[in-house]
Chains A and B, each alone.
Chain A
Amino acid sequence: MRQIPPDYTKEDIEADHLQDQYTLMFGILGRRILGELGTDGEQALREAVRRYGADRGLRDRQKHLEAGCKINMYSAFNCGAGLPGNKRTHSIRFQSVPEVHTSQVLTCPMAEIWDRYDCFDIGRIYCEEFHFAYYNTYAFGKAKVNLATTLTERGTEYCSFHVLLNPADLSEEEKARCFEEYDEKPEEADLSQFQRISAQEGYRFLYLRLYYYMAVTLQEYLGEQGKETLIHGLHELAGVVRDYIREEEQTPDLCYLENNYPAKMDTSQDPNWMVYQEGSARELLQTEFCDRLMKELQI
């Protein structure tokens, strides 16, 4: 069992578990995909991360537009991102204004988990694809995303983010949507909508979508072979998750899983699946992972 910092609440511990499990899901499935399918698998995995990034970017943009926020780098990094807060990520912000966000991430629990579970290279794929797709989609495809170092590369000490949105790269209409000075009648933004979401709610939605795009892309690119690999990956994941949970909790029950695992064990109870119905993604997660995990944990 890991050392719990003295200032941690039950909610903090749960948030860490949820984040670790979200990260592990990508790492274990990704490793299996590359191991069994090589470059073809990597192609599908990268595409899945891009679709996931684009999905998140699009949703955040929509949320910001509805709240009257300008679509720019300040809003992207400061107003209600879909990622729940956590106590393990430490970063330094050098600049965060509408045109540019520059920061260094000094500690990243995702990189640490990928390293611990021997999926460091898979993590690097996430970093390379996700951020580019997310910020670019968010800002109408006009953001310049520079990530010169990441903690998922050996020998680097921090992730270096430099994300730009230049008014000169935008059309007249986009300028008005992105920067107050180009909007003749700027609205007062309603930031009250951006209460931090709970870790359970946040990671559950992130996990679902990341997994969904992996499952769909894999089958789209590689058909039955892709589906088989996905099933192998879900089986392996069930074993890894079982061990992780056992290390933290000797006798986990459904309530524990509800608070500490980012997928509902009865997937039909999660309304988010309504929008993500393509293929057999949900069914496979249910039968090849959730049911198996419950059995292994004797719940």
Chain B
Amino acid sequence: MTELEESRLNNLEDHYCIMYAILGRTLMEEFGTDGEAILRQGTRYYGQNRGRIHRQKHLDAGMKINMYNLFTSGGDLPGDTRTFREAQRLNEEERVSHTLTCPMADIWGAYGCMDIGRIYCEEFHCACYSTYAYGYTKVNIAKTLTQEGDEYCAFNVVLRKADLPEELQPVCFEEFDPDYVPPEEVSLPVPGAKEGYRSLWLRLYYFLLQAAVEQKQEQGKKAIEEGLQKLAGTVTEAFQKQKGSIDREFLEENYPLNLDTGQEPMWKDYGNNGAKELAEEAFIKPLLAKCL
């Protein structure tokens, strides 16, 4: 990876995190504990969505739904050069690991939003891994880098054969499926940086909006709108600090969202509650106006 590619990758990841932080902060400032409830629910929806898509990808490829496959194949998070993990145990039933450095925690810390990041950690992993394995995964994260005093994230994610109902045992573990023929070559590609973070940003935003509208209707949507407007300012400031003058090409390469919403096919599936129009009006237009 060239220095330029790495810089783009870092920007894409950072801005995905910043979006969550700014929208999260706005919701909590606007609605207090109710705002936190929206944020948590939106994060759970998002985790469930990713878990469900990951599971379907594995089923389509003829793979078993278990912890080994979950953590080794077809993930939707682009690789990065800043995260360091220490794997301790990985098999069909268990994944035990420590994350020693996390750029997401670093960026949330830099923006004074560690508490928001902590909410992400508490809700996302449980929802995603649990949904992936039909709700039977036990997700234990006793430490996270988004918590003061913790030196690493401690993951202990378990799917026990004995916790599954009979009909799911062969879906998840080879030993219960005597006729199973594993796919000859499984190569589920990890998405590229822009493609990956574009999809993650859009869905995370979409589900935060969904939770906000569900719980606070128009007021909720209004809060997300305010958050997006603030975000446009934050993004502009961050990029200008990094590069001085910015052009559209730089924005397209370094910001996760596709700035031409007409060219973004995902809005078709994630367009409820006026998500696309709101992103366009409250975020993209102000961002382009400020930056260019």
Contacts and interface: CB of A to CB of B under 8 A. Distances in A.
Interface of A: 39, 42-43, 45-46, 94, 102, 128, 132, 144-149, 160-162, 164, 166-169, 175
B222 interface: no
Nearest to A94: B149
Interface residues of B, number: 25
B143 A128 contact: no
B52 interface: no
A259 B190 CA distance: 62
B140 A43 contact: no
Interface of B: 33-34, 36-37, 39-40, 96, 122, 126, 138-143, 149, 154-156, 158, 160-163, 169
A172 to B, nearest CB: 10
B140 A146 contact: yes
B161 A39 contact: yes
B142 A162 contact: yes
A244 B122 CA distance: 44
Nearest to B122: A144
Contacts of A175: 33
The 4 residue pairs across chains A and B that have the minimum distance between CB atoms = A148-B142, A42-B162, A168-B36, A148-B154
Nearest to A167: B33
Contact of B142 (A132, A146, A167): A146
B114 to A, nearest CB: 15
A49 B54 CA distance: 31
B36 A166 contact: yes
A196 to B, nearest CB: 28
Contacts of A132: 138
Contacts of B34: 168
Contacts of B156: 147-149
A105 to B, nearest CB: 12
B37 A168 contact: yes
Contacts of A42: 160-162
B37 A149 contact: no
Most buried by A among B154, B160, B162: B162
